Amino acid sequence: MKNSITVLGIQADLVWENPKENIAFFENKINALKQRIDLIVLPEMFTTGFTMSPKKVAEKMDGFSVSWMQKIATEKGIAICGSLVIAENSNYYNRLVFVHPSGKIETYNKRHSFTLADEDKTYTSGREKLIINYKGWKICPFICYDLRFPVWIRNTNNYDLLIFVANWPQQRIKAWKTLIKARAIENISYTIGINRIGIDKNNNKYSGNSVIVDSLGKNISTLKNNKSGIVEAILNKRDQNNIREKLGFLNDKDHFKIY
């Protein structure tokens, strides 16, 4: 178990529906890293952008992109995660894939489909949360629109780190900034939110604003608008546990079931 882990997120301008070009970009960024990293986080649909044409780009779990993630994880001795379009059992999923340094894979299917873009008509939504145990940390990942639904995200599993990967548009970026902090504060959890930049094929503009915040909502690492780059932080679980013990807010949470 590690008391501290180093997490890093990569903010990028995604090339529309072009997995090989996007992966080449991320691989170059990762290969250029000099520091020791425990976990790398990539944006939502990092191989394609937020496409509603899954037939063009969907991959299997043993396909090019997931195999690349396993290659990076095992060669670099790190964990890596991000979401991509997966075809499985005649369905399409916006699926977050988390790959451990061993090559082991864990997955989370986006629960809240973005109806404004007809994602609910295109992709099958998930039904299960994922709690990843990694180096003694409990990590809970979500995808973009999930950020707006605090009941689903509520810290009933005593997780230590929240992850949000996104293609969150510039016109609603104030909500992104506000909700990232809100989810961190109400769940007393480190939170990393990785968004994209650029303009996609549907003329949606993205300004990034990727961020890592602590369990009190304080920014630890941020990126400027419309700039590619990284956010990076060393997270300390002992410090966070001390805050939880001192405040005791999670002891008073409601108990409920989600159907």
Query: Domain holding 126: CATH number?
Result: 3.60.110.10
Mean pLDDT of the region 118-138: 97
Q: Is residue 209 part of a domain?
A: yes
* Mean pLDDT for all residues in the chain: 97
> How would DSSP label each residue in 211-244?
EEE-TTS-EEEE--TT--EEEEEEEEHHHHHHHH
Of the listed ranges 3-7, 193-197, 244-248, 255-259, the least confidently predicted one is 255-259
The predicted model scores a pTM of 0.97
Mean pLDDT of the region 10-37: 97
Domain count, the chain: 1
Angle at 209 between CA 204 and CA 213, to 5 degrees: 145
> Is 140 in the active site?
no
Domain that holds residue 115: 4-251
Q: Is residue 31 part of a domain?
A: yes
65, 91, 104, 178, 257 from 81: Cα distances, Å: 11, 21, 12, 24, 28
Q: Is residue 258 part of a domain?
A: no
Q: Which residue among 17, 29, 44, 140 is the active-site one? A: 44
Percent of the chain clearing pLDDT 70 (strictly above): 100
DSSP designation for 170: G
Q: Is residue 257 part of a domain?
A: no
> Is 81 in the active site?
no
Q: What is the pLDDT of residues 230-246, one digit of tens each?
A: 999 999 999 999 999 99
Q: Is residue 49 part of a domain?
A: yes
C-alpha closest to that of 167 among 30, 7, 42: 42
> What's the pLDDT band for 143 if we cut at 50, 70, 90?
very high
Q: Does the pLDDT of residue 75 top 80, yes or no?
A: yes
- What pLDDT is recorded for position 1? 76
Angle at 26 between CA 22 and CA 32, to 5 degrees: 150
Q: Does the pLDDT of residue 84 top 90, yes or no?
A: yes
Q: Which residue among 17, 59, 110, 237 is the active-site one? A: 110
Q: Which residue among 144, 181, 232, 237 is the active-site one? A: 144
Q: Is 137 within 8 Å of 161 (Cβ atoms)? A: yes
- What pLDDT is recorded for position 61? 98
Q: Does the pLDDT of residue 131 top 80, yes or no?
A: yes
Q: Is residue 259 part of a domain?
A: no
> Is 144 in the active site?
yes
**Amino acid found at 45:** M
Q: What is the pLDDT of residues 159-202, one digit of tens each?
A: 999 999 999 999 999 999 999 999 999 999 999 999 999 999 99
- What pLDDT is recorded for position 259? 82
Q: Is residue 256 part of a domain?
A: no
Q: Does the pLDDT of residue 123 top 90, yes or no?
A: yes
Sheet holding 161-165, edge to edge: 132-134, 137-143, 161-165, 190-194, 211-213, 219-222
Neighbours of 59 (CB within 10 A): 20
Q: Is residue 228 part of a domain?
A: yes
> What's the pLDDT band for 255 if we cut at 50, 70, 90?
confident
